[in-house]
Structure 1
Amino acid sequence: MPPKTSISSALSWRCPQCTVRTFASSSKLLAVGPEHPRYVKVPEPPQQTVPHNPPVKGTLPIPRNVFAGNSKGRSDDEIIALSTPSPKNPKNPPKGSREEWKAKMSEIRKQNLREGVKSLRARQISDERHQNVRQAAKQRERQELLQRPDREDERLTAPSNNMDLDALYNKPIPDPTREDRIRTKQLNLQRHEDMKRQERMEAVHSLYMNAREFIVTPQQLDKAVDAAFGTPEMPVQFGKFSTGVSNRSIWAEGRPERVQDKLNVANGQATGFAMRSAKSSSEINKERIRRIAETFTGGKIEKSVE
């Protein structure tokens, strides 16, 4: 009978597949199976709305201002001359010796320092010029944006909280057209007053011209009534019949003139009673001439003067 396997050996057993070293460079924990969606590496483009900022590896030191210590106002040539002085006691070392090599390396370092300082100064001037140009452009753009008027949609939809309430409640509201409107209203008022004055003058003159015919005493009233209706002994008669007898009714003279009768007379189509009762053309012309004369003279003219 074969011997039984011990428990310790059974617990220390490992899968042969796990002990086999894979050919992939990634560790076993990062490796995924074929059923995993990341088994095949597919490059993913960055989001279109978010700028792609690759990670910065390491930290960059703060650049030092090489020309910060020039407090005495020296020029670059003076600084270079002080930093790269020539030897006071020049020596002529033998050719190929170590002293010759050291002198040559010292001269190379001095030359590199001169070229480096000059290139740094040129780069500083160029950067300052570009920076000034960018700042001036930004300032111009800022001033243009500040002075640009509001858009029509923003002006119409903006709330009224930007109003000067102190000026609105405690100061007169600005009105640029106030003087013109006041001047126009004054002219209109003056024109209206002139028209009213002219009408009053015409009314007073008409009153003066017609005042002589006014009835102001009882005697004048009795005289006017007798002239219009007659006396009880001799009343006024209107019209005559074929028998020669007069009538006391005004209708004996005929019916009153109508508007159509006046139009027919003006158009030359009047017949019968309208022709008999209408005014003649000479009377109409006299009336028109009288009105024209009143317009020219500015006053009233009596009808009896015609």
Structure 2
Amino acid sequence: MPPRPSIAIQSRPWTCPSCRHYSVTLPTQAVGPEHPRYIPFPSPPQQTSTPRKWMKGILPVPRSVFARKRGKDVASDDLIERSTPDASTEPAFPEGSREAWRTKVAEQRKRNLREGLRELKERQVRSTSNARARQGRVQRERDEMVARPEREDERLTAPSHGLDLKELFGPLQDPDRAQRLATKKANQAAFLAARSAARASSLHTLYSHARNFITTPAQLDASIEKAFGSNEEPVTFGLDNGTGAGPESVWNLGAPLSVQDMLNRANGGRRRGGGALESAGQTVEINRERVKRIAEALTGGVMDEKRERDGGRGF
């Protein structure tokens, strides 16, 4: 088997630190398109909370150092002194011997145990007092908030209010009930009377106008012949008052009344192009309409034109 060729390794040339060039490329531009931060976006004003670090495994429940044992406090001075008694006699061991070292280590262990128990006891008392103070402060704040009166905006926007249910669902106190019912009955009677009068007036008006209603084919034929004439003698709009000498146009009878002519007629003036006789006739017509409205208001009924021309005689 022939030997494998050696692989040439290119070594990076050494560069002086003072002559090294630093890159000015932004970190977001130094990543590829597949990186999530390839496109820069502004950070939100409120950062998200730091995710909780997951600890693998299960930690044992810590043992209570100051749990009472047989009704006694483990961290009491009596039990500490009894657990770490001092030597009754001072042994005379040579310096640097094993017995002297063991004695020194035992004394150090007793001293550490006493100091550790006292410091732990102080820390427990301090943490307990802080917790109780914090709990008391929170309880006082809660009691103050519960006893605080309701705010005005909450009272005005509350869906319910503090009404007495017995007073709410009990009999209503209404001392003016009889007077209010009498007023309502009077108003209802007046309304019914006004409606009845209006219906009677409408029926009377309908009866008065019914004389001109077309109800039969003969009346329809007569109305058509009166308006348009017959085939032999049609109605024309000539200059010689319907004789047919002029052109058949409705404009031969004159232009219709304009708005200004209507205003002049209402104000008692003359029509444009009209004389004194025409103005007098218009005044008589206006006075006749006014007298008609006054008579209708006095009699309570509608007066038709035929009855008025007949001098007030019946139908």
TM-score under structure 1 length normalisation? 0.41
Greater length-normalized contact order (CA 8 Å, ≥ 6 residues apart):
1
Give 1 or 2 for the bigger CA radius of gyration: 1
TM-score under structure 2 length normalisation? 0.40
